[in-house]
Amino acid sequence: MNRTFSIGGVHPHDSKISKDCAIEALPLPPTVYISVAQHIGAPAKPIVAPGDKVKVGQPIAEPGGFVSAFIHSSVSGTVKSIAPRADLAGNKQMCIEIAVEGDEWYEGIDTSDTLNTDFSDDNKEIIEKIRLGGIVGLGGATFPTHVKLSPPPGKVCETLIINGCECEPYLTSDYRTLLEKGPQVVTGTAILKQALSVDKAVIAIEENKPQAIEYINKLLSDLRKVSSKYTGITVMSLRKRYPQGGEKQLIDAVMHRQVKSGGLPIDVGAVVQNVGTALAVYDAVQKRKPLIDNTITVTGECFPRQANLLVRVGTPLSFIIDYLGGMPADAAKVISGGPMMGKAISNLDAATLKGTSSLLFLTEKQTRRRPESSCIRCGRCADACPMGLEPFLLNRLAHAGLTDELEKNAVQDCIECGCCLYSCPANIPLLDHIRQAKGQVMGIIRARAAAAKAAASK
């Protein structure tokens, strides 16, 4: 029996209807809008001005702090403007608008398909190339990768986990990447493993993707014969269960260790990177190609054409939709990400980001919230919660505004995976209320920490 995480979880229908669609490159849009806030941390600072000519892969914004990342032009052309523009949710974000002219790449980038599985032993150089490539985690959080590769002093990484679970229904971009860019992902894994100086790397894939598991295993056994840099990398097949791709759940599944509340994966010796990130690392280190495109699953039963598209960062969503046949009449909701944790999009003029993994179209019937009825105390929410919380209790406490009790019952540990609301037979909007309460309690915790710090420095 394959491993899985030890607490909670649900089994939504996997709906991976786009899994057989090979990755195809989307034609270039006439204009791209590249946000300077595509990662967790400080927004990047633009280093180009309107009127400048830029090439594909040329840096156009530099990190705005320690936790920040470079942004590169994803096209060649002329910078038209640097101005606030509405993002997926309608919030204004600073964007660099570039009119596309041709497809000329920046000097030093290797655009050939030649596979290069041998890499330098110089870890500093590797991490610097990753930093210059603007690589961020593509599993959802978009945390700058070079920061994650530099553990704080005293912390030692024992296992690198490459997250290939893709446990959200509908999403297939990681699966297609494993099948079509397997050698690059494996090389990227070896590079990450070396940069962290760990002996062990695990590529975790759920058992409903047997083709990917078999293929990566074969690649690994071939590469191990060629180079010692590939020893210690294994594939681990995991049981299918949502939210296995959650960082904390994946560490529990692979290492049988749990990250303490408020702690970091490195505290238990783990660093988790996504399949897409491993590919981006390969591109940055072996090809000097920065993160300027990513694979996006475009899917939904009501959508005319399922696809996995290689999309340049900053492409307007409406361009993607029109390319695939236009907005279906019965689509009621468009989601960036999966149906469990993705965000509903209100603005289809918004442009893609480095971390955009999918565009999912759901009909009203599929996504409708049914009317709420009384809690029957069935306990399904508590059974489903992968953090071992009691959503029915947190919901009641949130209604009563009892922040002390909420903190005692660990509302701040909620990972917002949606399992509670998903499994509630009374259709109580548990996560809506818990998410709000969590924000409130996190604010209180932060204020308390700041006050303690101020008192200590006096």
Binding of residue 373 to another protein (CB under 8 A): yes
H/E element, 214? helix 210-226
CA-to-CA distance for 56 and 76, rounded, in angstroms? 5
Sites for another protein among residues 11-70 (CB under 8 A): 12
- 3-class state of residue 164 by DSSP: strand
**Nearer Cβ to another protein (62/390):** 390
Q: Which two tokens stand for residue 134?
A: 């603007």
- 3-class state of residue 217 by DSSP: helix
The rounded Cα 179 to chain-centroid distance in angstroms is 19
- 3-class state of residue 43 by DSSP: coil
Note the maximum CA span of the chain: 64
Q: Which two tokens stand for residue 370?
A: 């049914």
- 3-class state of residue 17 by DSSP: coil
Stretch that binds another protein, among 72-80, 143-151, 290-298, 327-335 (CB under 8 A): 327-335
CB of 369 to another protein, least distance (A): 7
The position carrying tokens 């700041």 is 450
Binding of residue 418 to another protein (CB under 8 A): yes
Amino acid (1-letter code) at residue 114: T
Phi-psi region of 390 (alpha: psi -120 to 50; beta: other; left: phi over 0): beta
Number of residues binding to another protein, judged by CB under 8 A: 64
Binding of residue 325 to another protein (CB under 8 A): no
Binding of residue 86 to another protein (CB under 8 A): no
User: Strand 53-54 and strand 200-206: pairing?
Assistant: unpaired
**Nearer Cβ to another protein (189/352):** 352
CB of 428 to another protein, least distance (A): 10
CA-to-CA distance for 73 and 56, rounded, in angstroms? 5
Stretch that binds another protein, among 4-12, 77-85, 107-115, 196-204 (CB under 8 A): 4-12
**Nearer Cβ to another protein (156/378):** 378
Binding of residue 332 to another protein (CB under 8 A): yes
CA-to-CA distance for 227 and 235, rounded, in angstroms? 17
Sites for another protein among residues 344-363 (CB under 8 A): 344-346, 348, 360, 362
Binding of residue 389 to another protein (CB under 8 A): yes
Query: Which of 50, 65, 263, 443 forms a contact with another protein (CB under 8 A)?
Result: 263
Binding of residue 341 to another protein (CB under 8 A): yes
Q: Which residues bind another protein (CB under 8 A)?
A: 7, 10, 12, 89, 169, 248, 252, 258-261, 263, 327, 329, 332-335, 339-346, 348, 360, 362, 364, 366-367, 369-370, 373-380, 382, 385-390, 392, 410, 413, 416, 418, 421-427, 431-432, 435
